Structure 1
Amino acid sequence: MERYLKRLCKDVWRYVEEGPHVPVLTLVQADGAQARLGGAQATMNRPTNDDLDKMEKYAIAFYEISCGVAPDNFDIIINCKSSKEIWDVLKNLYRGSEQAQDKKLTTTLNDFNNFKALPDESLEDSFKRVNLIITKLSNASIVRRNHETNLKFMNGLGRHWTTTKMIVQGDRKTHTLFIQTLW
């Protein structure tokens, strides 16, 4: 959702993070002087074009983020008053608390560090599993070099892949290839 809204317009995403733009309206008397609230013959200035543009972008943010919520979760956000409030609720729902996020990260790091192909697992299933682990690390802003992920995958495959590992490592392909290409 964040990528989508940023691509739509950077300002739209800003209103998700910061909340709505509230224009400052002043009361002006007929003679042009500012009036106090409740003053006689006072009228309100109209919002500026900049204010209108910001309010429109906020409305887009609210609409887009609301429409992006799965029907099953709509009841959770129905009472939210701003796109920022919706985003905060959704972050907590999908990411969990900081403690839960730390636990997920620790589990993912352990899964990466201890990766081994299972005894009856096909090469394709092993690749899918290591690729999922790498994606989880990437989502947590932990990026591994191609060389490291390729070696982790190949070394986790087991002894019957030793010849293939030696050939690939001998060509130094592990340094340059993406794991998807190596697969």
Structure 2
Amino acid sequence: MERYLRRLGRDVWRSVEEGPHVPVLTPVQTDGATAILGGGKPVLNYPTKDDLDKMENDVVAFYEISCGVAPDNFDIIINCKSTKAIWNVLKNLYDGSEQAQDMKLTTALNEFNNFKAHTCESLEDSFKRFNLIVTKLLNVGTIRSNHETNLQFLNGLGRHWTTAKMIVQGDIKIHSMSLYKLYGEL
């Protein structure tokens, strides 16, 4: 969602980060004759074009983020008055507390370090499952080198892959090849 809103424009994302734009309206002095006769009421200046543009971007951001929320989560954000408020609610909902984030990191690291192909699992299924684990690591902010990722995947394959593992591990390309390339080699 963040990437999508940023793609819509810097000012659309500003609405999420800073909240809605509130133009500063100041009293404008009326002409002297009207003021002397007592007929002058305080008049406020009009919002500038920049103010109007920012307010429009607030509307766009609010609309887009509201429409992008899963239907079962819409009731959670329905009373939010700004895009920033919606974002904060969704961030807490999906990221959770610091303790919950630590738990996600611990779980993802354990899954990565303990990866083993299941006995009846095809290479493709093992690859998909391992790739999902790597994605979970990325989502919690942990990046592993291609070399480390490739070795972990190879070491998690069953005994019947021993010869292929030895050949691939002996190739210097294992340090830099992507996981997809490794899968293609296997």
Residue in structure 1 matched with residue 168 of structure 2 by the alignment: 168
TM-score for both structures, normalised by structure 2? 0.89
| CA deviation after TM superposition for structure 1 residue 95, in Å | 2.1
Q: Runs of 4 or more off by more than 6 Å in structure 1?
A: none
Residue in structure 2 matched with residue 102 of structure 1 by the alignment: 102
2-structure distance, mates of 1:71, 1:107: 28
2-structure distance, mates of 1:77, 1:15: 16
The yes-or-no answer on 1:59 pairing with 2:65 is: no
List per-residue Cα deviations over 1:104-139 (Å, max 9, x = no partner): 110101111121112322212211111011001111
**Counterparts in 2 of 1:144-183, with a 5 A limit?**
144-183=144-183
TM-score for both structures, normalised by structure 1? 0.91
List per-residue Cα deviations over 1:70-122 (Å, max 9, x = no partner): 22211111110000111111112222222111111101011111211123222
Unaligned runs of 5+ in 1: 33-38
| CA deviation after TM superposition for structure 1 residue 29, in Å | 2.6
1-structure distance, mates of 2:71, 2:140: 27
**Counterparts in 2 of 1:6-21, with a 5 A limit?**
6-21=6-21
Query: Is the CA contact 1:28–1:42 (under 8 Å) kept in the aligned structure 2?
Result: yes
Query: Is the CA contact 1:19–1:84 (under 8 Å) kept in the aligned structure 2?
Result: yes
Residue in structure 2 matched with residue 79 of structure 1 by the alignment: 79
1-structure distance, mates of 2:45, 2:14: 26
2-structure distance, mates of 1:41, 1:78: 39
Count the aligned residue pairs. 178
Query: Is the CA contact 2:25–2:44 (under 8 Å) kept in the aligned structure 1?
Result: yes
2-structure distance, mates of 1:155, 1:31: 84
Query: Is the CA contact 1:115–1:156 (under 8 Å) kept in the aligned structure 2?
Result: yes
Residue in structure 1 matched with residue 132 of structure 2 by the alignment: 132
2-structure distance, mates of 1:19, 1:2: 15
Say which is worse superposed, 83-92 or 167-176, in terms of deviation: 167-176
Say which is worse superposed, 84-93 or 114-123, in terms of deviation: 114-123
1-structure distance, mates of 2:178, 2:151: 11
The AA in structure 2 aligned to 1:149 is: T
List per-residue Cα deviations over 1:134-168 (Å, max 9, x = no partner): 00111112111111111100011032211101111
Query: Is the CA contact 2:108–2:137 (under 8 Å) kept in the aligned structure 1?
Result: yes
The AA in structure 1 aligned to 2:75 is: D
2-structure distance, mates of 1:170, 1:120: 27
2-structure distance, mates of 1:181, 1:112: 19
2-structure distance, mates of 1:101, 1:92: 11
